[in-house]
Amino acid sequence: MKRRCTIALDAMGGDHGPSVVVPAARRFLATNPHVSLILVGKEDLIREHLSGEPLEERVRVHATTQEVAMDELPSKALRGKKDSSMRVAIDLVKDGGADACVSAGNTGALMATARFVLKMLPNVDRPAIITAVPSLYDHTHMLDLGANVDCTAEHLFQFAVMGSELVAAVEGIARPKVALLNIGQEEIKGNEQVKQAHELLSSSGLNYIGYVEGDGIFLDDLDLVVSDGFVGNVALKCSEGVARFVRHSLASQFRRTWLTRLAGLAALPILRGLRRNIDPRRYNGASLLGLRGIVIKSHGGADEVAFENAIYIAEKEIHASIPQRIGEQVGRHLDREQYRETA
């Protein structure tokens, strides 16, 4: 039996707030009897969505008075919203009232608040955002996805160490295959940071397999792709855009004539299968790595299935003791002489 744990949910975050978070919580509890949830937010709104059901003993409402808007400046949220659902969910992790928190709120505000409240692990300079993406080898992980727009080689190296440890713990892979995102066009490939990070990784204890180009994320046998947050964010958003574009093109092809509509009916189970394969909801939930606590970011537009997946990721990270493991790994890798010398 799994160890009992508690997860705080920012019930007000995202585009849909409690109307998604509360049903997602209910779904999750049904299949995870060892987990308790704290719904953080406006009490009346949350109770409305609990809609008369007897409040299960494994759910509790933690009332707050403020909310962070999706377009609010992180600095403003940090200074002015000390009783926001987002802030209080993170405070609960800090104070030990919860083992992790999940929010679909504003990424910048979540990152700034989590960093301020929970603090960074020793030897980690920057937090990074990591998520899984579908690939021909089922899936791979990518980081950073937007927390850091400008990165040094040492930052990229730290991301690789953190990401590799997360993948090892969560996926049960002894030595995850780590690649560095690069381009193949230049005489001496890539920019300075990437080339230096390549040196650091090549002489590290990680299972580093070298450079990968953008298409390799989705086609190659890899466990982790490392890049700075600007490039990683563009890569992730591009993949979402292309997937939507293809779905849209397919749908419009099927709508053309009554004959193609008929073919579409016949192909419906296949299209459903494809949809399942590339369903972004199955991949919803990005981890903020490098903090002294577990914070999971759900997509703002997540529905209850997608948000439930983000809660599931929080649970996995709790049981894998992610922050502790990453803290140890970063310490171990940063003690290695070659890194100190180069850095």
Q: What is the contact surface with a second copy in residues (CB under 8 A)?
A: 73-75, 107-108, 111-112, 134-136, 145-147, 149-150, 181, 183-187, 190-192, 213-219, 227, 229-231, 233-246, 248-250, 253-254, 256, 259-260, 262-264, 266-271, 273-274, 277-278
3-state secondary structure of 140: strand
Q: Which is nearer to a second copy, 192 or 328 (CB)?
A: 192
What residue spans of 119-208 are helical by DSSP H?
Answer: 153-171, 192-202
Q: Which is nearer to a second copy, 237 or 336 (CB)?
A: 237
Q: Which is nearer to a second copy, 75 or 324 (CB)?
A: 75
Q: Which is nearer to a second copy, 64 or 233 (CB)?
A: 233
Least distance from a second copy to the Cβ atom of residue 225, Å:
10
Least distance from a second copy to the Cβ atom of residue 194, Å:
8
Least distance from a second copy to the Cβ atom of residue 81, Å:
15
Least distance from a second copy to the Cβ atom of residue 152, Å:
13
Least distance from a second copy to the Cβ atom of residue 257, Å:
9
Q: What's the Cα-to-Cα distance from 74 to each of 104, 114, 115, 117, 119, rounded to whole Å?
A: 14, 11, 11, 13, 16
In sequence order, the β-bridge partners of residue 210 are: 179
- Using CA atoms, how far apart are residues 204 and 100, in angstroms rounded to an integer? 30
Closest by alpha carbon to 300, among 28, 109, 170, 81?
109
- Using CA atoms, how far apart are residues 324 and 291, in angstroms rounded to an integer? 10
Q: Which is nearer to a second copy, 5 or 73 (CB)?
A: 73
Least distance from a second copy to the Cβ atom of residue 268, Å:
8
- Using CA atoms, how far apart are residues 163 and 197, in angstroms rounded to an integer? 15
Q: Show the tokens assigned to 139.
A: 């899936």
Least distance from a second copy to the Cβ atom of residue 52, Å:
39
- Using CA atoms, how far apart are residues 134 and 141, in angstroms rounded to an integer? 9
Closest by alpha carbon to 22, among 3, 48, 2, 1?
48
Closest by alpha carbon to 128, among 224, 268, 240?
224
Q: Which is nearer to a second copy, 97 or 264 (CB)?
A: 264
Exposed/middle/buried for 24, CB within 10 Å: 0-12, 13-18, 19+? buried
Q: Which is nearer to a second copy, 215 or 337 (CB)?
A: 215
